[in-house]
A and B are shown apart, each in its own frame.
Chain A
């Protein structure tokens, strides 16, 4: 018994290194949470993981009809509008689902959290991993449709080198979902008001992000355009679209700014989360 003392008291200091060290000790738990998520999601469904594919297909069809045929919003020329919507949706779904699930961390896991201690961040991290799993299926679907367009419909292939930035875009989305989600979940332990907001807030946020329309559909001198760019998601999603279509907004400066905002959000989120996780049991 030469171990050093562990100390439990009010207000342990927030240390990133300690958090990471503890998470490493519990990495098995993260993977088991991931397995639980994947295995239990499609229990007793007939179509199983096929639902992951059906949802974006139906949504893209609706978008094509509503935004393309009725509202007559132009999508970039070198991609079918169906593929264009699929692309945006696969990234958006990843962000939305992670954000949604992470923001329910405390409320959904109250019964487990009230009985056992383990680093609470394992839960949101496993949510991100399972999000990546689902994303890869939806993104695969997009790739099939994209390549189909190229091969069978003769759409000219216009990808560019910024494709290599895709993993960074994905990580940025993940971290932003985490940062925002942690903040919301921390606030909702005591005051549930934000829970009301998250559900439709995500929907509203989608319209504030160029998912269902290309950014160039908006006058670049208008106030709305500037407001949209204040949303870090806009720059990231535009970046994703640019990589495949060479059409859209691509600006390193904007991306750097977005990533800075995202990192600040993440750190603030983790800080608040670490404050709340120690006493949420008393208020949740």
Chain B
């Protein structure tokens, strides 16, 4: 395998704040340093780019959006670039697509490189769809005859044939992005750099887009794909680069990359430590002392894979022994709707408490749609008396990606809350 992209020590520095007299003063200092043959004085003062407010904010006006990033991409590889907002993905993309240059370091690539940071770049509202196809194609680096030879294909793919001679400002936003994506999809570069342009159009068109990208990728082209959509990354890429605070934190298989990325998310949220203020209601006779979700990705990052069984361990202290106890767990939507309820009483009848500490383990089948949910925990008696009640104690995030290699499609948006098990027979 020959390498087609090599990044060596790529770093990018940005200045914070407004451009004004102070930046003019800095420019003058830089100029003086250059005239004297010294190094740029501001390259030394930049600090690591941390966007959270964890008290890391220093006094420096300069910040490194990327710091010493090295990687090597071989011909025909499809690589996902993932990372939190602010990790440096966009900056890396901008450098790759030659929109800006690195402050330090070097990037080398072979062949024709096209980048899609946005669909419809350069579309002019007053021109017809057809004119815009040519204009946009040329901006993306196609020659006029190439566009002309693919024009019919592009128009057909976009599905706006009827309106192709109408100014695009009269298009619906859906038609607009479809036409724009159609142009982009018919680029034939050796290296394709794609930002999250997939998030366009309706489901049908999204699928068409993913299919098209798979074709592009399958044709021996090298693709760099930047996205927050883990499902798309997982289905398209084999390798992942994870950026963290401007540095390359992980480089390896896509499955490991995604779990590395996920484990770094939401590290500060509540994972079941119970404090007095969490108790919505309590009789003083029984207390949940410990509630733990044992799913590995949850321990690391409050997230649960799509379809992954939710495993819970609890410890409850009883000051009085009852013979008719029922423990329950409710799953609520972020709107506060109770979506599901489970209790030991449904299957096993009431529990007879014989010791001061009761432990239970619980596995809940998870067929929730991707998204955010809350877990509410309770302990009650058969006559309806509530002993302890912890409302919305734990927040979970069901991912739009599953941890097994199912062939199904997980859409990134919610249709309802639950995906019931259903068996389809289609002739």
Contact = CB atoms under 8 A, between A and B. Distances in A.
Interface of A: 1, 3-12, 26, 28-29, 31-33, 35-36, 39-40, 43-44, 111-118, 190-191, 278-279, 281-283
Contacts of A191: 19, 24
Contact of B99 (A5, A39, A113, A283): A113
B15 to A, nearest CB: 8
Interface stretch (B111-119, B223-231, B330-338, B416-424): B111-119
Contact of A116 (B97, B110, B126): B97
Interface in B103-145: 103-111, 113, 115, 117-118, 121-122, 124, 126-127, 131, 134-135, 138-141, 143-144
B75 interface: yes
A32 B138 contact: yes
B143 A4 contact: no
Given A5-B108, A9-B107, A283-B19, A36 B124 contact: yes
Given A8-B108, A9-B106, A116-B117, 11 more contacts: A7-B108, A8-B102, A9-B101, A9-B102, A9-B105, A28-B144, A29-B139, A39-B131, A111-B121, A116-B99, A281-B100
A28 B143 CA distance: 6
B138 A8 contact: no
Nearest to B106: A9
Contacts of B113: 6
Nearest to A7: B108
Contacts of B105: 9
Nearest to A41: B126
Interface of B: 2, 4, 14, 19, 23-24, 27, 75, 94-111, 113, 115, 117-118, 121-122, 124, 126-127, 131, 134-135, 138-141, 143-144, 167, 190
B72 to A, nearest CB: 13
Which of A29, A31, A191, A283 gathers most chain B CB within 10 Å?
Answer: A29
Contacts of B4: 1
Nearest to A29: B138
A43 B167 CA distance: 10
Nearest to A109: B122
Contacts of A283: 19
A279 B104 CA distance: 13
10 contacts: A3-B110, A5-B108, A10-B101, A26-B141, A114-B94, A114-B99, A115-B117, A116-B97, A116-B122, A278-B101
A8 B95 contact: yes
Contact of A6 (B108, B117, B122): B108
A112 to B, nearest CB: 5
A112 B121 contact: yes
A78 B102 CA distance: 61
A43 B274 CA distance: 66
A281 B99 contact: yes
Contacts of B122: 112, 116
Contacts of B140: 116
Contacts of A117: 97-99, 115
A11 B100 CA distance: 11
A249 B134 CA distance: 47
B30 to A, nearest CB: 12
Contact of B100 (A26, A118, A282): A282
Contacts of B27: 190
Nearest to A43: B126
A190 B97 contact: no
